[in-house]
Amino acid sequence: MTLSNRDKVRNKNYTLSMKKTILSGSTVTGDLTLGNYIGAINNWKKLQEDYDCLYFLADLHALTVEQNPKILNQRTYSFLAQYLALGLDPQKNVMFVQSHIHEHTELAWILTCLTPMGYLNRMTQFKEKSEKHVKNINAGLYTYPVLMAADILLYQADVVPVGEDQRQHLELCRDIVGFFENRYGPGCFKLPEAYVGKMGARIMSLQDPEKKMSKSDDNDKNFVSIIDDAKKIEKKIKSATTDSGTEIKYDPENKAGLANLMTIYSVLSGKSTTQLEEDYVGKMYGHLKVDLADLVVETLRPVKKNYDDLMKNMDYLDQVMVDGADRAQLKAQETLKKVYEVTGLVRHPKKR
């Protein structure tokens, strides 16, 4: 499969589009979970109709924790197939792999030199990840949000749809624009806004509803991966931790586990949590779990089928990567050129 002529024309006009630009990505670790789907990719899908969207695979960010090289390589293809299987359209969106665009790391370095360590010290994700990976607290884990800022600023993104956990990184990105402009003046970057969905911005772990569902969790009972088989999904949802009460009521403070299941149910079914409370009057938690398991299995069944088909077509995945990288790089080069000019770095004479 290749891109249509219509799309090639669109690519050419890419930088002339009047639409706002959306950019987001996901670290290439584990497999995408219901949390990633509900908190992020479901929103990306809705936005692809009305914005110029760039969705990428953050493989460089994955290196901040130890990776098996062979698995990282395979997982990058698997992630692209998961994005596509979830309904992201490579004709409507620019989909690419972060490490294919060297401008990300170049801009990240320039921004690193402007970012005070005090700001990085405040990042809660760094604190959490360094507690989890005590034997590998590397400088990349620390400067992770600066690379993330470079990802966003290179493409002049207006809006960045993320889950709640990334809001702090977005705020830092906006601060970094300020540091840059104080030193070099305005004109290189847009100030991006975070877009955090109203519902499901923080899906919690199934066994420990006090912490967020995370795809790199060591205990796989804590998450449902979007490519888990039906049996696994049923088992994980039915064994999710809930309190010892019986009334089905949406109460995140006192019934965190149940509220989490109801949030998942609500987003996937389109019913409000109040509607769910009414539907389940007089019923037990077990009833809700059985229905939710069915809903999740049915929602993910076509995703898994698409995913399996895509993984048999590596040439197509390569093609999507190449097209995405070509389109992304045009924009990235434009921004980096401006940055080189204002910072006083001499552009390679043949690349001016």
Contact between 25 and ligand LTN per CB under 6 A:
yes
C-alpha 303/C-alpha 113 separation (Å) is 42
Of residues 22, 23, 31, 36, which one binds ligand ATP by CB under 6 A?
36
Given 92, 127, 129, 135, the catalytic residue? 129
Q: Is 46 a catalytic residue?
A: no
Q: Is 212 a catalytic residue?
A: yes
Contact between 335 and ligand ATP per CB under 6 A:
no
Distance in Å, CB of 251 to ligand ATP, minimum: 19
Binding-residue total with ligand ATP (CB under 6 A): 20
C-alpha 253/C-alpha 200 separation (Å) is 15
Contact between 209 and ligand LTN per CB under 6 A:
no
What binding mask, one character per residue, do residues 245-274 give for ligand LTN by CB under 6 A, x or -? Answer: ------------------------------
Contact between 206 and ligand LTN per CB under 6 A:
no
Of residues 202, 249, 271, 338, which one binds ligand ATP by CB under 6 A?
202
Contact between 88 and ligand ATP per CB under 6 A:
no
Contact between 292 and ligand LTN per CB under 6 A:
no
Of residues 88, 213, 248, 296, which one binds ligand ATP by CB under 6 A?
213
Contact between 24 and ligand LTN per CB under 6 A:
yes
Distances (CA, A) of 24 to 47, 95, 194, 215, 310: 11, 10, 10, 17, 22
Instruction: Give residues 161-190 in contact with ligand ATP (rule: CB under 6 A).
Output: 162-163, 165-166
User: How many other C-beta atoms can be found within 10 angstroms of the C-beta atom of residue 138?
Assistant: 14
Instruction: Give residues 221-240 in contact with ligand ATP (rule: CB under 6 A).
Output: none
Q: Is 215 a catalytic residue?
A: yes
Of residues 214, 222, 225, 263, which one binds ligand ATP by CB under 6 A?
214
Q: What is the spatial order of strands in the sheet that 52-58 belongs to?
A: 93-97, 52-58, 21-27, 159-161, 193-195
Residue 201 binds which entry of ligand LTN, ligand ATP, none, with Cβ cut-offs from 5 to 8 Å by kind?
ligand ATP
What binding mask, one character per residue, do residues 125-164 give for ligand ATP by CB under 6 A, x or -? Answer: -------------------------------------xx-
Strand-pairing partners, residue 193, are 159
Of residues 81, 148, 233, 267, which one binds ligand LTN by CB under 6 A?
148
Binding window for ligand ATP (CB under 6 A); candidates: 10-18, 88-96, 214-222, 264-272:
214-222
Residues forming the site for ligand LTN (CB under 6 A):
23-27, 58, 61, 148, 151-152, 160, 162, 166
Interface with ligand ATP by CB under 6 A: which residues? 26-27, 29, 33, 35-36, 39-40, 162-163, 165-166, 201-203, 212-216
The residues that are catalytic are 129, 212, 215
